Structure 1
Amino acid sequence: MVAHSHTVLLVDDEPVFNFITESLLKRVNLVKEVYSVFNGREAMKLLQESFQGLHNIPSHIFLDLNMPIMNGFSFLEEFSKLPRDQKEDIKIIVVSSSENPSDIAKVKSYGVEDYISKPLSPDTLKEILQ
């Protein structure tokens, strides 16, 4: 049995996506904790609280692009402004239904770890987390 090793933050405005992904993450048995939020603003709030010791700092953020309030691009812009020591161990994986080449190029310019099309599979999650 593989030990839990990651804390994951899901940022997606679709509750069904968050529920299914959280279930898949638990099934691959590589996470110790999963947080779910519905937009970039909630994600930034959770990150700030994590840096203050109120939550575990996520090792991975699975980020949707198209969300209300603060979309994925705005989140990436805010994340890029964080001090390097706070964000250097956090990997961002964009998970989107968009396969628009300009979207992919734009998020890659922020140094995201990967860009994956929905839906996620257990094998994809294992590959990302191992």
Structure 2
Amino acid sequence: MMPNTVLLVDDEPVFNFITENLLKRINLAKEVYSVFNGKEAMKLLQDAFAGVRNIPSHIFLDLNMPVMNGFSFLEEFNKLPPDQRDDIKIIVVSSSQNPLDIAKAKSYGIEDYISKPLSPDVLKQILA
């Protein structure tokens, strides 16, 4: 099953650009949204739940971002009604290998925690 929609949440435009192109090139996503912080991600999700956009099947989430970081996003995401969030898989993609960050992220029920940069093999493992 190919995921229809992936949401990239990262404040590095280069990461978003490269990952979006990679996902499309290896045919793992039909649609990719990119936002630069958790606040923009929550707005996009609200639009998706309202029918304005497709609801992402997967969210690739950075932890260290301005405005609203990854942990604050996870906090807000987990307040959503279960029927809205249950089918969305969140994968934290971070340069942090701090065991405390990893444990904290996993406590929010994320699907996986992986290190930057993303490779085609890692993306295939997660999305295929």
The aligned residue for residue 58 of structure 1 is: 56
- Whether the 8 Å CA contact 2:2–2:127 is kept in 1: the answer is no
The code of the aligned residue for 1:116 comes to I
The aligned residue for residue 39 of structure 1 is: 37
Q: Does 1:91 align with 2:99?
A: no
The code of the aligned residue for 1:91 comes to K
What is the root-mean-square deviation of aligned Cα atoms in Å?
A: 0.9
> Structure 1 length as normaliser, TM-score?
0.96
Q: Does 1:104 align with 2:66?
A: no
**Structure 1 segments of 4+ aligned residues over 6 angstroms from their partners:** none
Secondary structure at the aligned position of 2:30 is classed as strand
CA shift, 1:48, in A, is: 0.3
What CA distance in whole angstroms lies between the structure 2 residues aligned with 1:84 and 1:5?
20
CA shift, 1:30, in A, is: 1.6
Identify unmatched segments of 5+ residues in structure 2.
none
Identify unmatched segments of 5+ residues in structure 1.
none
Sequence identity, in percent? 80
The code of the aligned residue for 1:29 comes to N
- Whether the 8 Å CA contact 2:4–2:29 is kept in 1: the answer is yes
> Structure 2 length as normaliser, TM-score?
0.98
